[in-house]
Amino acid sequence: MTRQQSQQLAIWVITAVSAIVVIPILIVILYMLYNGISTISWEFISQPPRNGMTEGGIFPALLGTIFLTLGTAVAAIPLGVGAAIYLAEYAGDNRLTRAIRLAIVNLAGIPSIVYGLFGLGMFVLFLNYGTSILAGSLTLGLMTLPVIISTAEEAILSVPQEFRIVSLSLGATRWQTIRNQVLPHALPGIITGVILGLGRAAGETAPILFTVAAFYLPNLPKSIFDQSMALPYHLYVIATQVPGMPLGIQYGTALILLFIVLSLTLVATLIRSTMRRRREW
Amino acid sequence: MKEQAMTPAKISVKNTTFTYGDGTQALKNINLDIRPNELFVLFGPSRSGKTTLMRLMNRLSDLIDDTTREGEILFNGQDVFGRRTDITDLRRRVSMVFAIPTPLPGSIYDNMTYGLRMAGIRDKAVIDERVERGLQQAAIWDEVKDRLDSSAFALSGGQKQRLCLARSLALEPEVILLDNPTSGLDPISTATVERSLYELKQTYTIIMVPHSVQQAARVADRAAFMLNGELVEVGTQQELFLNPHDKRTEDYITGRFG
Amino acid sequence: MAAQTNLNSMPPQDEATTPTNWRELVIENLIRLAGISAVLIITMIFLFLLREGFPAFVEVPLSDLFSSRWYPIEDKFGLLPLLAGSLIVTVGAVVIAVPLGLTTAIYLGEIAPPWQREILKPFIEVLAGIPSIVLGFFGWVALAPLIQSMGAPSGLTAFTGSLILAYMALPTIISITEDALYAVPKEYRDGALAIGATQWQTIWRVVLPAARSGIVIAVMLGIGRAIGETMAVMLVTGNAANIPDLGFGALFQPVRTMTATIAAEMGEVAQGSLHYSVLFGIGIVLFIITFAINSLATYFVGGGKRRRGGQI
């Protein structure tokens, strides 16, 4: 085999293998779409499950996931953006900073089920919030922190250094500079990170298993101290725990969950790319 | 401070040595007095410490990590590195215009008012008056008065540079630090800036790093020649450019090196 | 009166804030607290796991923990089957994901024309975004029957789990490898091409060796991702807590991972019971494994990336 032939072969193999990675993703999405689309109706989205969950819709689970995602945002955004500002603008090159960075890497690496255990131990039992939207949101919020911190830090660092120097030279304080010259320009990147993080949180099951999720609830939650159904857990329940569950409802539920999470991911990606194009500098 | 009575200097640099984290001595035992309302030129080859010295005067040098400083810099007799110094106030009084014109994102008007807003000035009448005066003093008012709301990035290079000067002037500083304000400007814009310098020094003290030795000789009241972090020679324009004492100064201004 | 000041040793808020500006002092201290919170949170996670899981290590004899029977109803808490389950599924996932991930990263970084990259990179991000429960559900309703129809006694096997996990670890492996390839200086490639190497020879002999450490990190983080995954493996690995027979056949037996055990059993145990503690104990084991992997990877990176801006 000549060099040229081996070059050809290598390129061909690499391209084929990349296709092996990409095609199954398409298959999963199309499979859910194909099997689930016929179940989707206004009734499916707006009605509670009926008759041992074998009929009706997914409304309480959908609403629960929306509440949990909002709760996650409230819990994670201030802490995450604050930590990102600290790392990008304040932290010196010292042991504390290295400890913080190590902690963030590890927060990102802790298995989601371990977050679930922690949420159970700390929020449900120790702080006595019980199995509740509050406990679930806080657990998901902590899990989302590393995503928000690293994308927000990236966005803050991408603001040109000249803006900071000019702002300081005009007599602005450090915080005024961050507030007026850094954060506004980093905002699209920060929003991207927040939405990406929330998308992950919305689809997570393991952290909410013991902190908020209910198998079935006849009533909608009334406060953040109530339990709630949630879409990912609902999918788990109807797929594995309810005998005689019609497949259509399972596919429909999976499709809705996939749609929510992927549209959040897509929105995040779109914001990032349009804002990159609109920059003046 | 006890020196206050003895020194009429606007800015007084005393025994100042400044070392970067990698060990390079950017400034070696500098002593220098800058008098009120003079146009003082710091010149020398690149990396001789001119910009570093200017950045110490309003503590923009704080932004560099891992540096060591010895000596004192007095502004109106007060140590700028003293514990009680209000840095934001110092930077408004000793205002820097950078070599590369850097407008902030936003309109011309936003740029002009930024420092004032950060200083907490809210009165629209005061702000508008300062904006107009600043732009006029920097000789750019006529060009931008009808488009104050358009983006500062849309200006030409020379206009950006004068906007950055005007932006500093709006703060009504006492000292203006000009780091090569005519770099990248065409001869006509350069002449415009140099003419306005003559007007400005009636009101302000100006410390400037020039574009060239020729420019230094054209605009300076007094000047200092710097080389490798040392202050080689200080003198009036006549002394320094027509009759230098130090061989190195003479070599430099006659173009034998640098 | 020469004063010597090391500027870097000053606390940051003294550098740019007026002494009287209380509002900014409060804001800046809150920001500092947010930064430090990352350390506090991870410490608290570990402490709470210890608090709930500690009894497991005291009350269950070590020999029991290292026995091969997991049968909580009879107080048999042998962790070996679960460790073996996690190990097999993870190793299987890595064996599948690493070649796929590296190759795709090479394609994206070295071969694909820009327009394909523009399409493919968001695609990989989409893969990262698919909830694990949805992938698990897909494995459960589509993949498992397919594998069974190919002759396995059951479709719910370690292999099914590995396959799903491999795809979940792929985005991590691809993006970090791609960064590592990107960091290889262009001169290396130009030099190799200039002396007559083909593109493939350049990639194989020059680019990949130069990106070696980044690739190792990518693989490590991929492992960390796979070992901690819960819902997908819970649905597709059959959840049988036995130590599989060794050999290639091990992949085609049902297994149960540590993560799935916690998820499946925590809902049914009494709080404070020994079983409850042991489940937290498994959490501690998972925490330590992933902590070790991630810390090691960080150590290899060499203390973090160089910053481009920031730091005023």
Q: What is chain B's pLDDT, residue by residue, as a tens digit (258 residues)?
A: 444 445 478 999 999 999 998 888 899 999 999 999 999 999 999 889 999 999 999 999 888 878 899 999 999 988 999 888 889 999 999 999 998 889 999 999 999 999 999 998 989 999 999 999 999 988 889 999 999 999 999 998 888 988 999 999 999 999 999 998 888 778 888 888 888 888 899 999 999 999 888 899 999 999 999 999 999 999 998 888 888 888 899 888 887 664
CB of A168 less than 8 A from some CB of B? yes
In a domain, B95, yes or no: yes
Domain count, chain B: 1
Mutate to test the interface with C, among A33, A87, A104, A105 (most CBs of C within 10 A): A105
Q: At CA C182, angle to CA C181 and CA C184, rounded to 5?
A: 70
State which amino acid sits at residue C44: M
SS3 content of chain C, % helix, strand, coil (to 5): 75, 5, 25
Pair A153, A88: CB distance under 8 Å: yes
For residue C139, which of C120, C121, C171, C166 has the smallest C-alpha distance? C166
Residue B251 to chain A, least CA–CA distance (Å): 35
In a domain, B258, yes or no: no
DSSP string, B98-140: -SS--PPSSBHHHHHHHHHHHTT---HHHHHHHHHHHHHHTT-
- For the cut 50, the answer to whether the pLDDT of residue C5 exceeds it is no
Distance CA(A257)–CA(A164), nearest Å, equals 42
CATH code, B150 = 3.40.50.300
Residue C88 to chain A, least CA–CA distance (Å): 17
Q: Which of B79, B84, B87 sits opposite C16 (nearest CB)?
A: B87
Given the structure tokens 């009605």, which residue do they identify? A47
CB contact under 8 A, A171 and B153: no
Q: What pLDDT, on the 0 to 100 scale, is given for residue A281?
A: 62
- Name all chains with 3 or more CB-CB pairs below 8 Å to chain C: A, B
Q: Is the dihedral of CA B101, B103, B108, B110 positive or negative?
A: negative
Residue B61 to chain A, least CA–CA distance (Å): 10
Q: What pLDDT, on the 0 to 100 scale, is given for residue A252?
A: 94
Question: Could you tell me the two tokens for C199?
Answer: 């593109």
CB of B81 less than 8 A from some CB of C? yes
Contacts of A166 in chain B (CB under 8 A): 98, 102, 104, 164
Pair A205, A183: CB distance under 8 Å: no
Q: Which CATH architecture has domain C62-301?
A: Orthogonal Bundle (1.10)
Q: Which residue of A has its CA nearest to B105?
A: A280
Percent of chain A residues past pLDDT 90, beyond the cut:
68
- For the cut 70, the answer to whether the pLDDT of residue A1 exceeds it is no
Distance CA(B189)–CA(B162), nearest Å, equals 9
- Name all chains with 3 or more CB-CB pairs below 8 Å to chain A: B, C
Q: What pLDDT, on the 0 to 100 scale, is given for residue A146?
A: 94
Given the structure tokens 């060099």, which residue do they identify? A3
Mutate to test the interface with A, among B89, B96, B114 (most CBs of A within 10 A): B114
- What lies within 8 Å, CB to CB, of A123 at 6+ separation is A129, A134, A135, A138, A139, A211
The domain A60-278: what is its CATH number? Answer: 1.10.3720.10
Segment C108-146, tens digit of pLDDT? 888 888 888 888 888 888 888 899 999 999 999 999 999
Give the structural domain span for B115: 3-253
Q: What pLDDT, on the 0 to 100 scale, is given for residue B224?
A: 94
C257 versus A7: which is more confidently predicted?
A: C257
CB of A32 less than 8 A from some CB of C? yes
Contacts of A96 in chain C (CB under 8 A): 36
Mutate to test the interface with B, among C7, C20, C312 (most CBs of B within 10 A): C7
CB of A173 less than 8 A from some CB of B? yes
- For the cut 50, the answer to whether the pLDDT of residue A156 exceeds it is yes
Q: What pLDDT, on the 0 to 100 scale, is given for residue B234?
A: 93
Residue A170 to chain B, least CA–CA distance (Å): 5
Q: Where are the alpha helices (DSSP H) in C130-230?
A: 132-138, 144-149, 158-182, 186-194, 199-201, 208-210, 212-228
CB of A20 less than 8 A from some CB of C? yes
Q: At CA A147, angle to CA C48 and CA C220, rounded to 5?
A: 80
